[in-house]
Each structure stands twice: as C-alpha cells, then as structure tokens.
C-alpha cells in the first residue's frame, strides 16, 4: 500500500512569501504529526492531529505557522511571511492511533529554502 506522501518535495521561496506544504497520510491512520528538521539536527515537533479532536499546536514556533487537517485525512501546513530561519525539512508522519506505543510512518519530507 501507499505510504505517507508529501508535496512538494522541494520548495524555494523568497522571504516574506507564504508557503503551503501538503501531507497525505496512510489511509486509516487517525493520528498525524508535523515535525521540522534543521540541517544536522534532530526532529522538532510542531503539531499533532488526532481524529476530530482539536490539534495540539504546542510545538508551533510562532503564529506565522498554522495547520489544518481536512476530513481527518490530508493535512496542510502553512507558513506565512516566511523567514530565512524557516528553512528546514518539514516531515509529516502518521500512525494508526495516538500514543507513543505506535510506530510513526514518515513521509519523505519537504525541503523548504527561504532566500
């Protein structure tokens, strides 16, 4: 079956522009996560969706970041007025249920470069 897909794979934008990153989780997975990975660093948790519950946005670095998950499936991460420090690989993951007892399946990521 298909894994987690993300688009675009690469995005180059100018400082101040808005960008949208898309994630298609594995069908049937109720939990969806967004992480950010800067060069040579570990993963930084951004936001978590579980079913129809309100998302946990505690990891979002600023109010320029927002995310939606429509119909419990596809998710979009939006960064407004991008800054150079937003440059990173943005990774999406999904799992069957919430909770750390489940493995998370990761997409290939979107590499964002802000000039």
Partner 1 sequence: SQQGEEDPQALSIQEGENATMNCSYKTSINNLQWYRQNSGRGLVHLILIRSNEREKHSGRLRVTLDTSKKSSSLLITASRAADTASYFCATDENSGYALNFGKGTSLLVTP
Ordered DSSP codes for the chain: ----EEE-SEEEE-TT--EEEEEEPPTT--EEEEEEE-TT--EEEEEEEETTSPPB-TT-SSTTEEEEEGGGS-EEEEE-S--GGG-EEEEEEEESSSSTTSPPEE---EEEEE-
Q: Is 33 in the site for partner 1 (CB under 8 A)?
A: yes
CB of residue 59 to partner 1, shortest distance in Å: 7
- The region of 21-29, 33-41, 70-78, 79-87 touching partner 1 under the rule CB under 8 A is 33-41
Please identify, among the stretches 16-24, 61-69, 71-79, 95-103, the one whose residues bind partner 1 according to the rule CB under 8 A.
95-103
* Chain residues that interact with partner 1, rule: CB under 8 A: 4, 31, 33, 35, 37, 40-45, 48, 50, 56, 59, 89, 91, 93, 98-101, 103-109
């Amino acid at each position: 079956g298909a894994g987690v897909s993300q688009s675009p794979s690469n995005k180059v934008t100018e400082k101040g522009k808005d960008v949208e990153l898309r994630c298609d989780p594995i069908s049937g997975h109720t939990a969806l996560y967004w992480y950010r990975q800067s060069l040579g660093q570990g993963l930084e948790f951004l936001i978590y969706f579980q079913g129809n519950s309100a998302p946990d946005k505690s990891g979002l670095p600023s109010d320029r970041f927002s995310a939606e998950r429509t119909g419990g499936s596809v998710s979009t991460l939006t960064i407004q007025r991008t800054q150079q420090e937003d440059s990173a690989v943005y990774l999406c993951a999904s799992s069957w249920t919430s909770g750390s007892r489940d493995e998370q399946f990761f997409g290939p990521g979107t590499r964002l470069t802000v000039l």
